Amino acid sequence: HQEEIERMRNTTLRLKECLKCAEGQTPPETPVSEPPGSESTSPSVRLEDEMRSASPSLSVSGSETSSIMQKLKKMRSHMDEKFLTKREQQLMQRRHHAEELLQWKQRLDQEEAE
């Protein structure tokens, strides 16, 4: 029974994605699970990887991404995050993570300079 339920769930998800595509939206990207310890790589390299890691099959134009980011900048409270699409949530998390890495790098640079 468990396998059958799982199969039905997958089929439903696929149908939902097809409907979204038909409406002109991009399907949500599956989150890429990051290997532990990946934070040790330098932030600039990580940021480039983040840019490239956007799945090529879901080609989202740069302008579309920047408009999403614009919308995210306007949003202040975390309560609003519930109303974001999967992609927007991922971009927000990615951006937050990138900012944390940059802060961390700045702290390291300061320590090295002393």
Pairwise CA distance, residues 64 & 71, whole Å: 11
Whose CA is closest to 91, among 38, 63, 37, 54? Answer: 54
pLDDT at 109 over 90: yes
Indicate the domain borders of the chain. Answer: 43-52+61-114
Pairwise CA distance, residues 102 & 47, whole Å: 10
pLDDT, greater one: 32 or 113: 113
What value does the mean pLDDT take over residues 28-38?
48
> pTM to 2 decimals?
0.30
